[in-house]
Amino acid sequence: MTDTSTTRSKQLKLPPLQLGKHTVDVPVVLAPMAGVTNKAFRRLCREYGGGLYVTEMVTARSLVERREEALRIIEHDNDEAIRSIQIYGVDAVNVGKAVRMVVEEDRADHIDLNFGCPAPKVTRLGGGSALPWKTDLFQAIIKTAVEEASRNDVPLTIKMRKGIDDDHLTFMESAKMARDLGVSAIALHGRTMAQHYSGKADWNAIADLREAIPDVPVLGNGDIFSAEDAIAMVEQTGIDGIVVGRGCQGRPWLFGDLQNAFDGSEERFRPGVSEVAEMIYRHAELLVETFGDETKGLREIRKHVAWYFHGYPVGGSLRAKMATVPDLAAFREYLAELDHSIEYPGAAVEGPRGRAGSPKKPHLPHGWLDSRILGDAERLGLVDAELDISGG
């Protein structure tokens, strides 16, 4: 995906992104990632460059019930200029209540709605990326959310996939409906539910959407693993902003590369092992602070170990120890055992990372595709599509 052509520009040329009343100077969005984009990780990323940094997804129901974990997820640091959150919900009443609560209590400056989750346990009940197929439900949720958010002039955006599979694409009509209901931007992940995270994101679909709805900002998502990928996507699609997910896992400095590309600089972060060790240790410290608990913070850092050291020559036993690290003192010790003279390994660190896998047959409620309108039995089934969900 990295562009090696000499004819392409080296600068990311995009004007600031207007999200309702907010101006995002650097039109780069940290994609919401459940279990990843918490306060600690957002701070780390933010320190490298500008952009909009979205929380992990939170369910409407858990917000309405004021669950401790839900309130933790939507907390922001004082210096997060635009407090951005993402809500996932499957019925208009709960989503409306959740948005109202957030807006009335001034808990966020921007709200995104998640319509992209491909997890079978959610889609087989009609939630996640299955939901836009039911146009009445999709519109009802957005209508209520926009109305509630607009009470305090909070911009409401949506994020979605292309559709269920290549024979059941929804993004074009969904985007037009959302635009007509007053959303402030639309982010498209260029994959279908069936693709999950496999194959390549379809940037042509993103370009088509950009062209079809010139009156609302369109954000492109999928397979940006470097500043050069970002430049290529912008040039190929004409989009108004980019949304970066897996590319920054273990690489918060990617936002520095993107900032440099915006500034017209070709300088890129190329951390050696020593810098990576410092970064991951700081990440662990921030997680401890965020969760207010050393054990929990260190449990959280474990999954990041493989991402931070992806492509670096670090031995298996040391990796294994780090992936079960109990506390900060032990982490310091393990990190000291690394060979700090190792420089940036180049290509091994670049390119796709994180979730991949193979296409999956869509899991949907029985007969889901037969009608674009939600049936009564389907509505009942949806009740549980907000339980135990973690990400898109």
Ligand X SMILES: Cc1cc2nc3c(=O)[nH]c(=O)nc-3n(C[C@H](O)[C@H](O)[C@H](O)COP(=O)(O)O)c2cc1C
The footprint of ligand X (CB under 6 A) covers 31-36, 56-57, 86, 114, 116, 159, 189, 221-224, 244-247, 354-355, 391-392
Backbone angles phi, psi at 44, to 5 degrees: -55, -45
Shortest Å distance, C-beta 366 to ligand X:
26
Strands (E), the chain: 17-19, 22-24, 28-30, 52-59, 84-88, 110-115, 156-163, 185-192, 218-221, 241-244
Shortest Å distance, C-beta 105 to ligand X:
22
- State yes or no: is 117 an active-site residue: yes
Shortest Å distance, C-beta 254 to ligand X:
10
Q: Which of 64, 74, 117, 243 is catalytic?
A: 117
Q: Is 34 marked within a binding site?
A: yes
Shortest Å distance, C-beta 338 to ligand X:
25
User: Where is 318: in which H helix or E strand?
Assistant: helix 316-322
Q: Is 233 marked within a binding site?
A: no
Shortest Å distance, C-beta 332 to ligand X:
27
Helix, strand, coil percentages, rounded to 5, for the chain: 45, 15, 45
* Encoded amino acid at 189, one letter: H
CA-angle at 58, arms to 355 and 42, nearest 5°? 65
Contact 115, 163 (CB under 8 A): no
Nearer to ligand X, 246 or 310 (CB): 246
Q: Is 200 marked within a binding site?
A: no
Distance in angstroms (rounded) separating the CA atoms of residues 302 and 281? 11
DSSP structure string for 103-129: HHTT--SEEEEEE----HHHHTTT-GG
Q: Is 92 marked within a binding site?
A: no
Distance in angstroms (rounded) separating the CA atoms of residues 160 and 169? 11
Distance in angstroms (rounded) separating the CA atoms of residues 31 and 35? 12
Nearer to ligand X, 149 or 254 (CB): 254
359 Rama sector, left if φ>0, alpha if ψ -120 to 50, beta otherwise: beta
Q: Is 256 marked within a binding site?
A: no
Shortest Å distance, C-beta 370 to ligand X:
27
Nearer to ligand X, 120 or 354 (CB): 354
Q: Is 160 marked within a binding site?
A: no
Tokens 């109990």 belong to which residue?
A: 326
Nearer to ligand X, 307 or 344 (CB): 307
Nearer to ligand X, 31 or 382 (CB): 31
Q: Is 246 marked within a binding site?
A: yes
User: Where is 301: in which H helix or E strand?
Assistant: helix 294-308
Contact 165, 193 (CB under 8 A): yes
Q: Is 245 marked within a binding site?
A: yes
Hey, which residues does 242 pair with through a beta bridge?
A: 28, 220
Nearer to ligand X, 28 or 276 (CB): 28
Distance in angstroms (rounded) separating the CA atoms of residues 114 and 86? 7
In the annotated binding site for FMN, the residues are: 32-34, 86, 159, 189, 245-246
Point out the residues that are catalytic. Answer: 117
In the annotated binding site, the residues are: 32-34, 86, 159, 189, 245-246
